[in-house]
Each structure stands twice: as C-alpha cells, then as structure tokens.
Structure 1
Amino acid sequence: MSWGPAQRVYHRALIGYTNGEGIYFNDPQALKNNTYGPGGIYRPDKVLGNTNKTGIWAYWLDAPANPNVTNYQSKCWSWYYSEPDGSWWDVGLPSCPCLKSQAAKDYTFTPEILPSTSKDLVMTLRRLQSNGTVFQSTLPNQYSAGRRCVYDADGYLRGGFTDRYFAQDSYVNGIQDHIKKDLLPFLWCCTKSPLCHLYYERRPLDTCTEYSSPGLGLVYGTLHFFMFDGQEYTFKGLGEFVIVRLSSALGANVFTLQGQTERRLTDSGNTNSTALVRVAAFYQGTLKVCD
C-alpha cells in the first residue's frame, strides 16, 4: 500500500465498514492526522490486525455496532432453527370459516377470551394479527395447538393464524407460553426485521379454502340417527344411553348428550320398537339442560 496521503488532505481514506443506514465503524488509526508526523504514514498491511494476523481485519457485519442494541434478525433465526415444522403439531386443527357469521354459528369456534392482565400486551404484540373480531378454535388439538381467525369490520376473514402454544380461555400458563413462544418471535421476525417468511414457515397461515360448515345431526322416527359425518343408522336400544360425547385433547369431558328411550305405546299397548323420550345435555361444567 503505497498511496500518497498528502494528495487527499481533505478526503482522507477510511478503513472500516458501513451498513448504509448510519451504522458504521472506522479504523481509529485511519483517522489520525499523522501524515507528516513522527508516526509516519499508516500502512495497514504492515500492522497486526484484529485477527492476530498482519494486515488482516475481520468484522461481524450482521452484529449491531452497538452491543446494547438487540439483534432481532439473529433472534429470529435462532428461534426458526429451534422450532419444528408446523406440519406435525397443527394436525387436526379446523380451517377458519370465511365469514364471521359462519364462525358465530360454528361451535368449532368461539369468541376469543384473554386474561385482563395480559390482554393489552397480547394485542400490542399481535399488531395486525388482532385488528378485528377474533374467534379461536373451541378446543386445542392433541399437541395443545389452536387456530385463531381474525375478521374485518365487514365480516370477512382477514387472516387465519396457527398458534403452537394455544391461549385457551384465561389459562395463565398458556397465555404466557403464547406470549413468549408465539408472539415475541412474531415481533422479532415480522415487526423488527424483514424475516416474516421464516415466522410463517413455523406458524403456518390458514385461509378458508379448506373450510366446510359442520354437519347436521338428527334423531327422528323410531330412533333413526343421522350422524355429523353423514352416516345413518337405526338404534332400538331400551334404557339410557350416551348419544354424543366430546372430550378435550387431555381427556376432560367437554360436552355430553344423553338420551332415554322407552317402548312406543299404541292403542293396542306397548310395542317392541323404542322412541327417544328425554335428553340431557352437559357442557363444560354448566347445569344440565333436560327436555
């Protein structure tokens, strides 16, 4: 390096790096005004660099120049590599309805309820993910994951979001896991850095293209059952029976529908055929409703 620094008195050559957005580093030796001083001309190829090798400097360009500044891109990448692919833990989650009116009529979904102590923080971290009316899947799947559907003011689906750590009802530990492991990574990847595609690889978006409205279940005549999946069969049992039972992923009873049958009575007396005469429903610890 045999340039003539005296020819660039007002345009001193610099050694260092810049990110183009105001963050930079200049070699302190290159800033010294020692062109004619006793120190002589600065020749970096003759000086021991920070690599402990003569003339070789190396800088970590993806680290912030200020150690007190959080490197959100690094945090996003670390989270991305620590997370499994969503294809195995979002199994069985229902697709979001296309319309808010559909979600309101579909018992697979329920309006979201957040703990009052965490609601403001959750809404802030979600940003546009919660800008609207939010419905969530009524129950988590076997991996404790859930679906969240956000609708705009006109009732159309704005976005379907998949939460690995599902914030169900006001479950405190669940909401904390949701904040730390679902929402903070969203902040790192989508809000504070341009790596949103990484976030949605691990937290897949859902659209209503796979949605189908729930089937209708019927009991009619001498105990003809029409099931939710479209199957139909005849049952002639006599006594009390469980018609429908819905359990959570942990095995807890969520909904039970019981029925009682009796022999049909005609003008000529009892017959061998049976009919449903009474039902009782139980839902999440509420009182039984009998008919």
Structure 2
Amino acid sequence: MRRLYPYGSQQGDVTLDWGTTTLSCDWAGKSCSSGFIGTPRMKIFSSEFTDIKIYSNGYITMGQSYNRRMPTDFFTVSSSKKRSAYDNGFAMFAPLWTDANFQAGQVTYHIYDRTKSGLSITEKYRLKHALQLAKRDTVDYGGSSAIDPSWVMVISWIDSTPRMYYNEFYEQPNTFQLVLIYDPAQWRMSVMFLYERTGWDRYWTVRDSLIGFYVTQNGQEDSRTLAQSGKSSAFEMADIVGNTDEVGRFYFRVSEGDSRPNYELMCLSWYWQQQGIWWLVRWGWSMTLVCPCDQRQVINDRRWKFDFIEFVSSFEERVCYYERMPWGWSTQLCCYEYGSLIGRRDGSGGQTFYLHPRYGQAHIETDIDPKDWCCDKSDNCNIFYDARPLDACWGYVAPFLAWFVGDPHIHTLDNFQYTFNGLGEYTLIKTDGGNFTLQGRTVKALDEKGVETAATVFSAFAASDADSDRVYIAMNSSRSGFVILVDQDDKTDWFARANISDEVDFDGVSIYKDKTNSVGAVFKSGFSITVGLNASQLDITVAAPDKFLNLTVGLLGVFNKDPSDDLTPANGAPPLNTTTATEKMIFHEFGETFGVMFYFAKSLSHTE
C-alpha cells in the first residue's frame, strides 16, 4: 500500500538548500525557512492566502512567517500572531514539528498545476498522476466526488534527523509529507499528513513535537492539535492508523468551498493558455499600428476608431481608440486621459487586442473578460500585460495629408499646391505594386442658375487596395446627395439612415459616416479617404502612411517629402518645374498623362 506521493529528484522536485553550516540559517533559536512561494489564492476557513513558506523543522506557514526552532503549542502561536494577522491572516500546518537537523536529509517540494502550459511529456505525466492521486484521496477520504483538484503541492521532509547533539539517533531518520490539495474553482482545500518512517528514539522527545494546524484572520481562529503532539507517539505516526483508516495517512478538509467565482484562477488559467499561442500573439502584435502619443493625434488619424463601449463601461476620465482596419487580426487599444496616452499597467490603460473587436464574442472571451478577471477582480494586472502588451507610442508617425477641393485646387502629399481643370477620369494616387489606387472623375461645374461653366469639379471617386473591395463614392444625378457602392453593393440608403460614426466592414476596407455630408473609408494598407459633399461638388482628403514614401505617382504627386518633383508625368518625362510651370503646362504635360477609364456605377457610362 502506498504511503507517500512520489517525491525526490527523480520526480523533478525542487530541493531547498539550507546552506552548508548550522549558523547559515539556524541561529538564536530560529529554524531555517524558504522564501515565500507563490500559490493561487486559497481560501482556508474565512482567510485567503497567496503564498507558502516551508521550514526545515517540519511545518509551513501562509501569510506570515513564524520562525522558531523548538516546537510550541498553538496557544503560544496564537498569542504571537493574532494581532499581527488580524488583517492579512496567518496559517500554520505542521505534519511533524520537531527540533530537526536540516543538514542531514533533504526538504523538497513540487507544485502540480493543471493551468500551467508548456510542460514536457514527462511533466505532463507527473501532473496527471499527481492529480489522479489527489482526486482519489478526496473521494476516498473526503467523501466528495464533486471536488476536482487542479492544484496540488507535495512537500517532503526526507531522512530528517535530530539536532546535532543527538547524533546517536542519526540512523533513525524521519520521512514524511504535507500534501495540499486545492480545487480553486470551488475554493475547496484539503490537507494530508503522510508518514513513511518516524524512527527517532522516543525517550527524550515527549514534549518536543507538535502535529496539527492553526488559522487566524479578523479575530477568528480555527485549529486542530493531534493527540500525539508532545507525546512519544508523535514518533510513531508511521505506525498509527490515521483518520483515513489507513496506516500513516491523515486527511483534513480545511475549506468547505464557496460559490463565488474564483477570478484569480480564471485569470491564471487564461494566462497559461496564452503561453501556447504566444508566437501568434506576438505576430499579431507586430502587425498593429503604434498608438498616437496624444488624443489630438488619434482624432486626426482616421485609421483609429473611438471605442464607445469602453467609454460607457469605464465611467472614468479616459477615452480609448482601436484600429478600424488592421493589417492582421490584432489591434492596439490606445487609451487617453486628459489628452495624454496612458502608460500605466494598472488596468486603466490600453492593451493589445489579440482579436479585433470585429470578431465579436471571440474577442470578448480572449481580450475583454481576461482583463476583467486579472485587473478588476483580482490583483494580477502584471501577468495580464505580459500576455497583452501595452503600447508606448514609440515611433508613431502621423499620416501625411493631401486634398482636392473646389475648382479643383489640389494640395499634394508633399504640400505643393496647384490648380487643374481637367475633364474626365484621372489617377490621383497609384502605389508601386498596385497596393492602393485612388481615381477621380471631374464634371463641369454649374453656376447659380444650373448652367455648366468652363470650370470643373470632382463628382466621383473610386479607391481600393490590391486585395480589398472597391469603394465608389459619387454625387447623385441632382448633385444633392451621395451614391455609395462597395463592389456594386449599394450602401446609399445605409448612409442616409446611419448615425455619425456608424460604420460597416467589408473585405479589406471599412466605410463610416464621418459627418452628415461626409463619408470616410479606411483601407487595410493604411490609406484613408474622407469625401465631403458641398455646393454640388465633392472634395476629398487623403491620408497616406509613411511606409509609402517614394512609392506613389498621380495627381497627388511623388510622395517623398520633396515638393519639387510633384509634377512628374506618368509618361516618364522629367518633372515640370513647380515654380515656373503654368496652369496650361500642368494641364497638358502633367495632368492629362494620368487620364484613365474610370470605374463607374451600372447606371452611369464612361461619358457620364
């Protein structure tokens, strides 16, 4: 019949190194102890604990230290700890507290945690076996099949001998275990005292032992001292039938559970699951835009969308934005307080969204709920931000703007201005490789009586990325409203009914209602356009990301921060001199070289 859980180096246990001399950690009546070892949040009676300290003399504590070489009783422990533990709590579990010699033998521990990922095949087998043993013990001894342990800690005192001045008993070592069995989902915890060998000579040890446990918090106490404490039978535990009806095995349920959700467990479980997809999270993050450094920048950068849901749910002095049309499946959530980007990792700032909000419920489950579990309902924001990094706006570059307005007056991406009265369809921007193309159509302007004039105005625009749906925005036949098509899908009525900031996502492009008479489109490439209707003519603002420097041609010029070559014709001829070129030269030698056959709606022909 097995006595102990598997232990030792062959089991992958952590061995505690107490030092090479007695004075290194056992002096002035103190025993040697480990540092605090982190655990899930455990509820024991009315107290909650998150760490454990192991002592060489056969006991552990939670919440606080209690470093003493010689055993005492729990009344003495209570007198010492009741006041200091009033708020934070204190717990002690002592399978066999004695005046032991830590230089001989070993003290080891092993934590088995189902929520942890990245385990080797051997570690997975050990985990499965330990949890099976714990489940069997809780059913056999605790009488409950509903408990499902997912966290087990096995602490082993191996070949423990008496103090050095009792060296005649070195051949009679003690080997025993303390096993903590925890079901975090139900806040249920059990403890086992297991004894394989307790062979110290008994005649001098009648008063030098304590077996049991003690817990206190908020003035409440609970303790249990086994009858063998302070008696010679304490060194016969390996031969005594325990409360399990088995020799050397004692089982205690120290927490009856709680119906409250264990948000810390939910957070930790999510965190360890993320380790299995860490490369995907990093890859998605690498494709996201850098957060603008202040709120003014993010408002002017149409690639970012205001997060109304986050604003309503936070009730704080902050606003957040995320990418409208990211290149991949991820995006940054950038949050601002009093105009500045929030860089705190306390839950008030932004985060990486592994899945863009357009993924709906999957986004909520993988990004929104975990932040609530980790930051709002438990104290684990640090590990949340390890899995969902916070952007710091390093390297942000605002998009470059160009526009067409009126007659048409053209302002290029490099800030050169000219007038072009061409009539027909033209390429406004075309990038190398065809990543993005923007075309425009001009028609005769009308005077106040509705009669055509010699001037021209823009009446339609068409834009697309290489792999996106094509967006077509035009004036209607009466020049009083929009015609909006996305790959022949008519969105004109949608725009008329939509509220400001409403938007619809398509393949590679998102269109949104910017104002009552203004429609915007953001493409996966990073280009965005905003088209307005004013006085029976269209105007357009174009925003280009800096990654397309030196990669564009068209009426909006060669995008390279140098306005001197913006009048470069499409036919390969040298650029016109921007300081001496006349309007006639610009029309014939530059503008007309970009004439195209325009994409048009089914109700219109090329001539219309």
TM-score, normalised on structure 2?
A: 0.31
Letter in 1 for 2:330: A
The whole-number CA distance in structure 2 between the counterparts of 1:24 and 1:280 is 79
In the other structure, the counterpart of 1:212 is 397
CA contact 1:189–1:196 (8 Å) conserved in 2: yes
Q: Which runs of 5+ in 2 are unaligned?
A: 1-197, 343-348, 416-421, 431-435, 444-454, 462-472, 474-483, 485-510, 520-532, 539-608
Percent of aligned positions that are identical: 26
SS of match in other structure, 1:208: coil
Change (3 A) 1:98 1:71: same
Alignment of 1:75 with 2:266, yes or no, is yes
CA contact 1:96–1:206 (8 Å) conserved in 2: yes
Letter in 2 for 1:105: N
1:15 equivalent among 212, 218, 225: 212
SS of match in other structure, 1:207: coil
Residues 63-212 of structure 1: pairs in structure 2 closer than 5 A? 65-68=255-258, 70-83=261-274, 84-85=277-278, 86-114=281-309, 119-120=312-313, 123=314, 131-153=316-338, 155-158=339-342, 159-167=349-357, 174=360, 176-212=361-397
Residues 234-249 of structure 1: pairs in structure 2 closer than 5 A? 239-241=424-426, 243=428
Give the deviation of 1:201 after TM superposition: 2.0
Letter in 2 for 1:197: N
Residues 218-274 of structure 1, C-alpha deviations (whole Å, 9 max, x = no match)? 579x9999558x9xxxxxx984256469xxxxxxxxx99641268xxxxxxxxxxxx
Q: Please, what is the CA RMSD of the aligned residues?
A: 5.2
Change (3 A) 1:178 1:244: farther
The whole-number CA distance in structure 1 between the counterparts of 2:270 and 2:245 is 33
Give the deviation of 1:111 after TM superposition: 2.1
CA contact 1:90–1:141 (8 Å) conserved in 2: no
Higher strand share: 2
Give the deviation of 1:58 after TM superposition: 8.3
SS of match in other structure, 2:286: coil
Change (3 A) 1:138 1:7: closer
| Most deviating of 275-284 and 81-90 | 275-284
The whole-number CA distance in structure 1 between the counterparts of 2:335 and 2:340 is 8
In the other structure, the counterpart of 1:252 is none
The whole-number CA distance in structure 1 between the counterparts of 2:243 and 2:413 is 74
SS of match in other structure, 2:308: coil
Q: Which runs of 5+ in 1 are unaligned?
A: 124-129, 231-236, 246-254, 263-274
Letter in 2 for 1:278: F
Where relative contact order (Cα < 8 A, 6+ residues apart) is larger, the structure is 1
CA contact 1:240–1:261 (8 Å) conserved in 2: yes
Change (3 A) 1:52 1:33: closer
SS of match in other structure, 1:107: coil
SS of match in other structure, 2:269: helix
Residues 146-190 of structure 1, C-alpha deviations (whole Å, 9 max, x = no match)? 22222112x11113421123335xxxx71x434322132223333
Change (3 A) 1:52 1:149: farther
* Corresponding pairs, count: 238
Give the deviation of 1:204 after TM superposition: 0.9
CA contact 1:148–1:160 (8 Å) conserved in 2: yes
SS of match in other structure, 2:425: strand
In the other structure, the counterpart of 1:278 is 458
Residues 245-284 of structure 1: pairs in structure 2 closer than 5 A? 258-260=439-441, 277-280=457-460, 282=473, 284=511
Residues 86-110 of structure 1, C-alpha deviations (whole Å, 9 max, x = no match)? 2111233221111111112221223
Residues 53-92 of structure 1, C-alpha deviations (whole Å, 9 max, x = no match)? 74356899xxx94433544443333212222222111233
CA contact 1:100–1:157 (8 Å) conserved in 2: yes
Give the deviation of 1:207 after TM superposition: 0.9
The whole-number CA distance in structure 2 between the counterparts of 1:107 and 1:242 is 22
1:47 equivalent among 198, 219, 240: 240
Letter in 2 for 1:280: A
Structure with bigger gyration radius: 2
SS of match in other structure, 2:355: coil
Change (3 A) 1:41 1:82: same
Residues 17-42 of structure 1, C-alpha deviations (whole Å, 9 max, x = no match)? 7698999986x6x3569999xxx967
